[in-house]
């Protein structure tokens, strides 16, 4: 997307992930065509090293599937994911495993991503044993180091997950992600299950780890305020497609796609200026099994014209580094500038 091949750590090219919908026996007998969930549909972007790239969207937009497909935790239907010029999507398992230590993931809910019967030590050390790299004492030392890095005490190493609060558990899963000193971490809604006061602690921690270990993040979130705070660039996803990509400032200050505008206006800041103003954009996200023809946002878009129901808008560069997939993006852009 952006032309900086020397710097980009990850390049995603036309990534597609369809899930087949299991048809009932009656449908099979009637010879109905198999249908698919278009979870990720032709997505292209790149992430530079040390960059935070946010993917924002509502539930059902395919953003979590994108994160999982990117790491080949689920195999993509088609497309390429280049990680330092190795194609993760087609690499044989053995070689992929060697790359795995550079790519990690942190999930939304730490109480389900940590094994309740495993000590913190064992959970955090698990990536090490997969890569069979360390001896026993070395292992304890590395875990202690990772725990200190996320602000926990190494004395808590032998405790079980239930002895920790939600925020501390998320710290443990972050420790597990960083123990092998990866280059890239997918953060899938890392703060969504946490309380407000704890959310900010985790955001600060992630920020500090990024500069300490030179990490790149793919931050998946539904929260525009979190994306704005954390990321260098934001992409907006809607029913499997990226509808807008650009620098955080550009996206927040000059959103070009009506869906991005809707998302930004839905941010409720804790301040007296946040009284509800009615924003256009009725309805909810359509089913990714049969996405609407033309622009996928046409069912909710307050500005939809005939063209939007027939032709699908392409994601194209409207201003330098700012891409949008709306037929009227140029128009909106020139209006904003005047």
Distance CA 229, CA 125 (A): 31
Min dist. Cβ of residue 321 to other proteins (A): 16
Q: How far is CA 190 from the centre of its chain?
A: 10
Subset of 76-95 contacting other proteins (CB under 8 A): none
Q: Smallest gap, in angstroms, from Cβ of residue 249 to other proteins?
A: 7
Tokens 């699908």 locate to 312
In whole angstroms, how close is the CB of 201 to other proteins at the nearest point? 5
Angle between helices 120-130 and 136-149 (to 10 degrees): 120
x/- mask, other proteins, residues 194-223, rule CB under 8 A, reads -xxxxxxx-xx--x--------------xx
* Shortest distance (Å) from residue 168 CB to other proteins: 7
CB of 203 to other proteins, least distance (A): 6
Q: Which is nearer to other proteins, 224 or 242 (CB)?
A: 224
Instruction: Decide the pairing of beta strands 103-106 and 184-188.
Output: parallel
The residue among 38, 15, 203, 196 whose CA lies nearest residue 106 is 203
Is 249 a binder of other proteins (CB under 8 A)? yes
Contacts with other proteins by CB under 8 A: the residue count is: 45
Q: Which residue, 212 or 284, has its beta carbon nearer to other proteins? A: 284
* Cβ 16 to other proteins shortest distance, Å: 24
- The residues, ordered by sequence, that sit 6+ positions from 151 with a Cβ below 8 Å of its Cβ are 171, 205
Tell me how long the chain is: 338
The end-to-end CA distance of the chain, in Å, is 27
Q: Kindly indicate which of the ranges 71-79, 80-88, 164-172, 303-311 contains the residues binding other proteins, using the contact rule CB under 8 A.
A: 164-172
Q: Are 47 and 53 in contact (CB under 8 A)?
A: yes
Q: Which of residues 263-322 bind other proteins (CB under 8 A)?
A: 263, 265-272, 274-276, 278-279, 281-282, 284-285
Say if CB 243 and CB 324 are below 8 A apart: yes
The pair of structure tokens assigned to 173 is 């899963």
Distance of CA 260 to the CA centre of its chain: 16
Residues 96-115 that bind other proteins (CB under 8 A): none
What does the per-residue mask of binding to other proteins show for 179-198, with x meaning CB under 8 A? ----------------xxxx
Q: What is the CA radius of gyration of the chain?
A: 21
Minimum distance between the CB of residue 226 and other proteins, rounded to whole angstroms?
Answer: 6
Q: Based on CB atoms, which residue is closest to other proteins, 227 or 308?
A: 227
Q: Does 22 participate in binding other proteins (rule CB under 8 A)? A: no
> What does the DSSP assignment read for 64-129?
HHHHHHHTTSS--SEEEEEETTEETTT--HHHHHHHHTTEEEE-S-HHHHS-TTS-HHHHHHHHHH
What is the contact surface with other proteins in residues (CB under 8 A)? 58-59, 165-168, 195-201, 203-204, 207, 222-226, 228-230, 248-249, 262-263, 265-272, 274-276, 278-279, 281-282, 284-285
């Amino acid at each position: 997307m952006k032309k900086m091949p020397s710097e980009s750590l990850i390049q995603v090219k036309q990534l597609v992930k369809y899930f087949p919908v299991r048809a009932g026996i009656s449908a099979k007998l009637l010879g109905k065509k198999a249908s698919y969930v278009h979870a990720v549909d032709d997505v292209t972007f790149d992430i530079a090293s040390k960059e935070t790239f946010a993917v924002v969207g509502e539930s059902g937009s395919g953003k979590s599937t994108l994160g999982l497909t990117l790491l080949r935790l689920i195999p993509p239907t088609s497309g390429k994911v280049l990680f330092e010029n190795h194609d993760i999507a087609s690499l044989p398992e053995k070689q992929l495993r060697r790359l795995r230590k550079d790519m990690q993931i942190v999930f939304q809910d730490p109480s389900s991503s940590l094994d309740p019967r495993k000590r913190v030590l064992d959970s955090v050390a698990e990536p090490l044993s997969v890569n069979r790299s360390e001896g026993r004492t070395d292992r304890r030392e590395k875990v202690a180091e990772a725990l200190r890095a996320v602000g926990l005490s190494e004395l808590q190493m032998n405790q079980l997950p239930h002895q920790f609060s939600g925020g501390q558990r998320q710290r443990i899963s972050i420790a597990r992600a960083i123990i092998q000193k990866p280059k890239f971490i997918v953060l899938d809604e890392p703060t969504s299950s946490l309380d407000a006061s704890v959310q900010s602690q985790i955001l600060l921690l992630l920020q500090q780890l990024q500069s300490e270990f030179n990490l790149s993040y793919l931050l998946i979130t539904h929260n525009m305020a979190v994306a704005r705070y954390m990321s260098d660039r934001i992409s907006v996803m809607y029913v499997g497609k990226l509808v807008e990509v650009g620098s955080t400032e550009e996206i927040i200050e000059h959103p070009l796609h009506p869906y991005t505008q809707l998302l930004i206006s839905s941010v409720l800041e804790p301040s007296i200026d946040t009284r509800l103003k009615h924003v256009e954009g009725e309805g909810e996200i359509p089913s990714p099994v049969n996405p609407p023809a033309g622009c996928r946002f046409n069912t909710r878009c307050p500005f939809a014209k005939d063209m939007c129901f027939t032709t699908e808008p392409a994601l194209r560069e409207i201003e330098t580094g700012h891409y949008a997939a709306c037929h009227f993006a140029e128009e909106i852009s020139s209006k904003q500038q005047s």
